[in-house]
Amino acid sequence: MIFADSHAHLTSPELCAQADAIIQRAKAAGVAHILNICTDRASLSAGLALKLQNSGATTPHDVAKDGEADFPIFAETARSGKLVAIGETGLDYHYEHSPKALQRQFMIRYLQLALECSLPVIFHCRDAFADLFAICDDHYRPGAPAILHCFTGTVSEAEEALRRGWCISFSGIITFKKSEALREVVLAVPLSQMLIETDAPYLAPQSRRGQLNEPAFLPETAATIAQVKGVSLEEVARATLRNFSSLLAPCL
């Protein structure tokens, strides 16, 4: 079986120094593809130096602090063909570390960059789905590729994303004992529009709670999906790998 981790911060401060060893452990666990998410200049520089499959953007949490300075760097990198996706961008009204209006402004800028460069967008969204969908309906081309990363919304919110043709990515949260509602979402999302991720170094699955997460732990999330949907682990691996490859095929 071959797995694809659609979202990991390999060049975050917590993981960067041991990135090579993490990648080797991932390969030993069957995780052959990892999309590295870069959220600032340091993680982007490290991702490019390691020749990883990189996506980049300032997160909605940090646009007030770093957005204006870092957007030109991510834009130049995308335009030079060195990114395979744009993100994670989006909206987070739960913590609101950056003003909502500023989050919306930068999300629109990153949507425009993704369209310009013909790259998929990776969304971070928490307590803001109505605004996310409305902005995308106004500023993102219908049918253009997108991923809702680390999905923790409702079935109805998932259905809105599916209707737009987006993929929904599930993290180790679905393995947590108290995530029954989220497992209902897993049941509702077809494998044809599903991805899996670690969001490493965050959100280690149930058997690894309290540890730094890493891509080698991804099969536990895939196994939970297989159990919830009543299919084989092999089927989950094949479907999510196929979706990952399809989204990033022009760049791989």
pLDDT at 250: 53
- Give the C-alpha distances (Å, rounded to integers) separating 193 from 57, 158, 170, 240, 244: 23, 11, 11, 8, 10
Q: Do residues 18 and 47 touch, judged by C-beta distance below 8 A? A: no
Mean pLDDT to the nearest integer, 128-142: 97
Q: What is the pLDDT of residues 45-68, one digit of tens each?
A: 999 999 999 999 999 999 999 999
pLDDT at 96: 84
Q: Residue 248 — very low, low, confident or very high, per pLDDT cuts 50/70/90?
A: confident
Average pLDDT value for the chain: 97
Fill in the DSSP letter of residue 200. B
- Give the C-alpha distances (Å, rounded to integers) separating 142 from 29, 154, 173, 192, 205: 37, 22, 29, 18, 34
Mean pLDDT to the nearest integer, 224-246: 98
Q: Which two tokens stand for residue 252?
A: 């791989």
Angstrom distance (rounded) from CA 215 to CA 16: 13
Give me the percent of the chain exceeding a pLDDT of 70.
98
Superfamily of domain 3-248: Metal-dependent hydrolases (3.20.20.140)
| The length of the chain, given as a count of residues | 252
Angstrom distance (rounded) from CA 61 to CA 103: 8
Is the pLDDT at 82 greater than 50, yes or no?
yes
The structure's pTM equals 0.97
Fill in the DSSP letter of residue 12. S
Fill in the DSSP letter of residue 198. -
Q: Which two tokens stand for residue 125?
A: 């969204």
Give me the percent of the chain exceeding a pLDDT of 90.
97
